[in-house]
Amino acid sequence: MTPAQMKDAILHHLVYTLGKDAAHAQTYDWRMALSFAVRDKIVDRWFEATRRTYAGQHKRVYYLSMEFLIGRLLKDAIINMRLEEAAIDALQELKVDYQAILEDEPDAALGNGGLGRLAACFMESMSTIGCPAMGYGIRYENGLFRQRFENGRQVEEPEDWLSQRHAWEFERPEVSIDIGFGGHVQEIGKRANWYPSEMLIAMGHDTPIIGWRGRWGNTLRLWEARPMHGFDLQRFNRGDYAAAAEPEALARTLSRVLYPDDTTEQGKELRLKQEFFFTSASLRDILRRFESEYDDLRLLPKKAAIQMNDTHPAIAGPELVRLLVDERGIDFEEAVGIARNTLSYTNHTLLPEALERWDEGLMGRLLPRHLQLIFRINELHMKDVGTRKVTAVDDGHVKMGELSFIMAHRVNGVSALHTELMKSTVFKDLHELHPNRIVNETNGVTPRRWLLSCNPRLSTLITDAIGDDWVDDLEQLEKLEPHIDDAAFLESYAAAKRQNKNDLANWIAEKLEVGIDPEAIFDVQIKRIHEYKRQHLNLLETIAHWLEIRDNPNQGWVPRVKIFGGKAAPGYVFAKEIVRLTNDVAKVLNSDPLTSRYLKVVYPPNYNVSLAEKLIPASDLSEQISTAGKEASGTGNMKFALNGALTIGTLDGANVEIREHVKPENFFLFGMTADEVMERRRIGGHAGQAIAADPRLARAIEAIRAGRFSPDDPGRYHGIVDNLVHHDYFVVCSDFTDYWRAQREVDTAFAAPKDWARMAAFNTARSGWFSSDRTIRGYMADVWHAEAAPTVEDA
């Protein structure tokens, strides 16, 4: 596409799709016009991919996920379609600011964090590879809440990304599926009829996901809940206005809001309804498509692979069995076999409080037929394995992890360590009964968004050195290794980082009114706020370091900026206190004339995908400091390493594999191993011992306790202090001393800029394995038994 054609396309949409005159168009109008112009180009390729999937009778992958944390789509689409030059030139002629347009797009924040972002990276990688696939989820009207700080405290505001028109989706009223809840079951022989008492409609909305160079496009289909019978005119006419609108409002609540808690929110009726709503709609859509092409349901596992992203869609097991048995007359045992060979399950957490369990009473009320089938599936499994040792129903609860395991032919962990821990802890018994079922698929990230698009300076440098094959074959980055010995290359590498840091410093000055030194170490911890992720360990070290600088302000300290980002679940009290403490610490440190040129803390509010894209390319140090054994994988850790930040981290999740790839000497390791953590916890008073042994730690905790960061309310953080001193389940105190040591090694290393640049560049060169393309190829080979289709010509 030439710039002139692009300009015509933009103007065409401005006038005929948006009904705006160029003279009066606002940023929003230009953004929509550009989006539609780009979308047109995507649609042809998307159709072609769909045609080829049908024609070639390729196996399809269905990715079922409660969350897709996509972020912005415009730049992604422009880059993958290779339309950036045309767009920039066209807009320049139209005198419209391209960057401002990109920034105007709201994030599609339909996810909490890692799990949802992984689903988004996977969608992009499946399209890049040409894996025929479809993502299924919920079209939440309100995505993850917006975070604001009020006197340091987190305040949540509704996120309303759909208040403006969403440029990327196509409404599909013809794809409307009715979903039932409640009611009763009538058994007729081996089958049953379910008569729900409540019905609503799931309506599809399709977003095309285009791969690199536009070679393939898949669909993300998100379901919107709608009332079966709209507005009640009878009631309205009787003057009962509120009641007339009630059924509609009730039905719509199902796709209204994303649950903002990623660990503890359990047993909520609406959540179970959301899970069944999107899972059932997706399965019936899948079966409808399958039956339009094939007439033997036993072929289903050969033609469809259905991936359950954690247990959130675990009701897929019993629902698929129900659809096969009750609605298609297949024998129960055969139906379980077909379902199991079609389904697979990814586990993302070992935290006991995050494992889904549903009260039998609630399940039986909402999904009476499914509860019956769960009992039968469970009995059949116990009969098959010849033991009653493992069960999916226990103590009046349905355990969704066990149910998913039993109903899946493959179960995977998301990093090598996590997978081994699954085998030895939560799924130990099931693993012994099914030793080939658990496999590992270490997570990855898409290099299109997380390098090419977010870090153009580094991307250009890489392409100048080794060509652009790295974009879809990221392990080509190893070809950078010889360049790392070239002083000129290293200098350019460091210059790209410096410029990224300058940009970020300017942005922070403008948005947060905090001045930071671009020469300082940019030390970044961005992720959800959780005790196990240990933002408070980072804060304790920050405070201890601050106190040390104050002791001796004229010593030559290595300047550092600690950057935090992340949201706390609205009901997670401890996490919210950490948020507040971070802001209070920032306030005190940033205004301390003795220390502020050496140490600052910044905490931009509302961390999201777009903010990550700004922060990561400008980072020097990546904080991956979770208690060993608790972080299933992490994916931010990969994005940082790829963009040349060095990691300070524990042997947890994918950190272990990152360290192996980038070599131990280019990674700041500290802390206990997962085994040592379990040992340590057995020692009574382990925290007290650690505090007694390290005066720096003792002093930092005392500073918090005495109210140095909350002088108006000295007791404000006694909860945190008490937790650290007396409970400390996440062994913050016991890991502090080693963390401190590693941080001082960071100071020393950063003071030698050439060596630092070499280590950073080595991280980039060795991060190629962490592409989600590699992860997807792993799933295709080990889990889905699916092959890529022949792709379309390059854009």
Least distance (Å) from ligand 26Q to the CB of residue 570? 12
Q: How far is the CB of 403 from ligand 26Q (least distance, A)?
A: 14
Is 754 known to be catalytic? no
Tokens representing 492 are 């350019």
In the bound state with ligand 26Q, the residue whose beta carbon lies nearer, of 144 and 690, is 144
Q: Does 294 bind ligand 26Q (CB under 6 A)?
A: no
Encoded tokens for 648:
């300070």
Q: Does 653 bind ligand 26Q (CB under 6 A)?
A: yes
- 189-194 contacts at long range (C-beta below 8 A, 24 or more positions apart): 190/325, 190/331, 190/332, 191/325, 191/326, 191/329, 192/325, 192/326, 192/369, 192/372, 193/326, 194/322, 194/326, 194/368, 194/369
Contacts of 636 (CB under 8 A, 6+ apart): 114, 526, 527, 612, 616, 622, 624
Output the CA torsion 610→561→633→731 (10° steps).
Answer: -140
Closer of 257 and 516 to ligand 26Q (Cβ): 257
CA-CA distance, 242 to 235, in Å (whole number)?
Answer: 9
Got the DSSP string for 523-585?
Answer: EEEES---TTTTHHHHHHHHHHHHHHHHHSTTS-PPPEEEEEE----TT-HHHHHHHHHHHHH
d(CA 460, CA 472): 15
Instruction: Confirm or reject binding of residue 135 to ligand 26Q (CB under 6 A).
Output: no
By CB under 6 A, tell whether 629 contacts ligand 26Q: no
State the binding string over 674-713 for ligand 26Q (x if CB under 6 A, else -): ----------------------------------------
- What are the angstrom distances between the C-alpha of 728 and each of 512, 648, 677, 717, 731? 33, 21, 11, 15, 5
- Of 400-419, which residues contact ligand 26Q (CB under 6 A)? 414
- Rounded to whole angstroms, how far apart are CA atoms 59 and 50? 12
Tell me how far, at minimum, the Cβ of 374 lies from ligand 26Q, in Å: 18
Q: Which stretch binds ligand 26Q (CB under 6 A): 142-150, 191-199, 336-344, 346-354?
A: 346-354
How many residues are given for the chain? 795
Q: Is 634 in the site for ligand 26Q (CB under 6 A)?
A: yes
Q: Reduce the DSSP state of residue 70 to 3 states and report it.
A: strand
Selected from 71, 114, 204, 566, the binder of ligand 26Q by CB under 6 A is: 114
657 binds ligand 26Q (CB under 6 A): no
Residue with tokens 């030793």: 435
- Shortest spacing between CB 123 and ligand 26Q, in angstroms: 14
**Can you tell me the distance from the alpha carbon of 494 to that of 394, in angstroms, rounded to the nearest whole number?**
57
Identified binder of ligand 26Q from the candidate list 9, 35, 113, 542, rule CB under 6 A: 113
Contacts of 93 (CB under 8 A, 6+ apart): 3, 7
Establish if 724 lies at the interface with ligand 26Q (CB under 6 A).
no
Name which of 633 and 666 has its Cβ closer to ligand 26Q.
Answer: 633
The nearer residue to ligand 26Q, 313 or 318, going by C-beta atoms, is: 313
Which one among 443, 608, 643, 763 touches ligand 26Q, defined by CB under 6 A? 443
When asked if residue 355 is in the footprint of ligand 26Q (CB under 6 A), the reply is no
Q: Which of 348, 449, 497, 567 is catalytic?
A: 348
- Give yes or no for residue 72 binding ligand 26Q (CB under 6 A): no
Using the minimum distance from each CB to ligand 26Q, give the nearer residue, 266 or 737: 266
Q: Does 444 bind ligand 26Q (CB under 6 A)?
A: no
CA proximity to 117, closest of 637, 605, 624, 645: 637
Q: What is the rounded distance in angstroms from the CA atom of residue 347 to the CA atom of residue 345?
A: 6
Footprint on residues 233-292 left by ligand 26Q (CB under 6 A): 259, 261-262, 265, 271
Question: Is residue 632 involved in binding ligand 26Q (CB under 6 A)?
Answer: yes
Closest residue to ligand 26Q, based on beta-carbon distance: 114
Closest to ligand 26Q by CB, 632 or 691: 632
635 labelled catalytic: yes
Q: How far is it, in rounded angstroms, from Cα 759 to Cα 765?
A: 10
**454 touching ligand 26Q, by CB under 6 A:** no
> What would the DSSP string read from start to end of 362-400?
HHHHH-HHHHHHHHHHHHHHHHHHT-SS--SEETTEEEH
> Given 311, 346, 635, 764, which residue is catalytic?
635
Active site residue 349: no
The only residue of 9, 38, 74, 115 in contact with ligand 26Q, by rule CB under 6 A: 115
Q: State yes or no: is 663 an active-site residue.
A: no
Say if residues 215 and 130 touch (Cβ distance below 8 Å): yes
* Set 528, 600, 708, 766: catalytic member: 528
Shortest reach from residue 532's CB to ligand 26Q, in Å: 9
Q: Does 303 qualify as catalytic in the annotation?
A: no
Asked whether position 643 contacts ligand 26Q by CB under 6 A, the answer is no
Read off the tokens for 200.
């609503």
Among 76, 285, 319, 356, binds ligand 26Q (CB under 6 A): 356
d(Cα 452, Cα 462) in Å, to the nearest integer? 10
Active-site residue identified among 639, 659, 661, 716: 639
Which candidate in 58, 59, 527, 716 is catalytic? 527
Task: Tell me whether residue 185 or residue 362 sits nearer to ligand 26Q (CB atom).
Answer: 362
Least distance in angstroms from the C-beta of 262 to ligand 26Q: 3
Interaction of residue 631 with ligand 26Q, rule CB under 6 A: yes
The least distance separating ligand 26Q from the CB of residue 653, rounded to whole angstroms, comes to 5
Question: Based on CB atoms, which residue is closest to ligand 26Q, 76 or 356?
Answer: 356
Other beta carbons within 10 Å of 659: 21
Half-sphere exposure of 694 (CA within 13 A, CB side): 23
Closer residue to ligand 26Q in complex, CB, 196/636: 636
Query: Which one of 110-118, 658-666, 699-707, 767-775 is the stretch in contact with ligand 26Q (CB under 6 A)?
Result: 110-118
Q: According to the binding rule CB under 6 A, does residue 137 interact with ligand 26Q? A: no
Q: Is 623 in the site for ligand 26Q (CB under 6 A)?
A: no
As a whole number of angstroms, the distance between CA 332 and CA 427 comes to 26
Alpha-carbon gap, residue 542 to 153, rounded angstroms: 20
Q: In sequence order, what E strands does 650-769 have? A: 668-669
3-class secondary structure, 205 = strand
* CB of residue 618 to ligand 26Q, shortest distance in Å: 22
Told to judge if 528 belongs to the known catalytic residues of this protein, a careful annotator would answer yes
Nearer to ligand 26Q, 356 or 472 (CB): 356
How near is the Cβ of 384 to ligand 26Q at its closest, in Å?
29
Q: Which of 142, 633, 666, 775 binds ligand 26Q (CB under 6 A)?
A: 633
341/635 with CB nearer ligand 26Q: 635
CA-based nearest residue to 62, from 137, 129, 135, 139: 135
Question: Coil, helix or strand for 359?
Answer: strand
- Site size toward ligand 26Q, by CB under 6 A: 22
SS3 at position 134: strand
- Classify residue 449 as exposed, middle or buried by CB count within 10 Å of its CB (0-12, 13-18, 19+): buried
Minimum CB distance to ligand 26Q smaller for 16 or for 729: 729
CB of 531 to ligand 26Q, least distance (A): 13
**Least distance (Å) between residue 113 CB and ligand 26Q:** 4
Phi, psi of 792 (to 5 degrees): -80, 165
Q: Which CB sits closer to ligand 26Q, 59 or 630? A: 630
The minimum distance between CB 710 and ligand 26Q, in angstroms, equals 30
The amino acid at 190: K
112 sits near ligand 26Q (criterion: CB under 6 A): yes
Question: Which spans of this chain sit near ligand 26Q (rule: CB under 6 A)?
Answer: 112-115, 118, 259, 261-262, 265, 271, 348-349, 354, 356, 414, 443, 631-635, 653
For the annotated catalytic residues, the residue numbers are 348, 527-528, 533, 635, 639
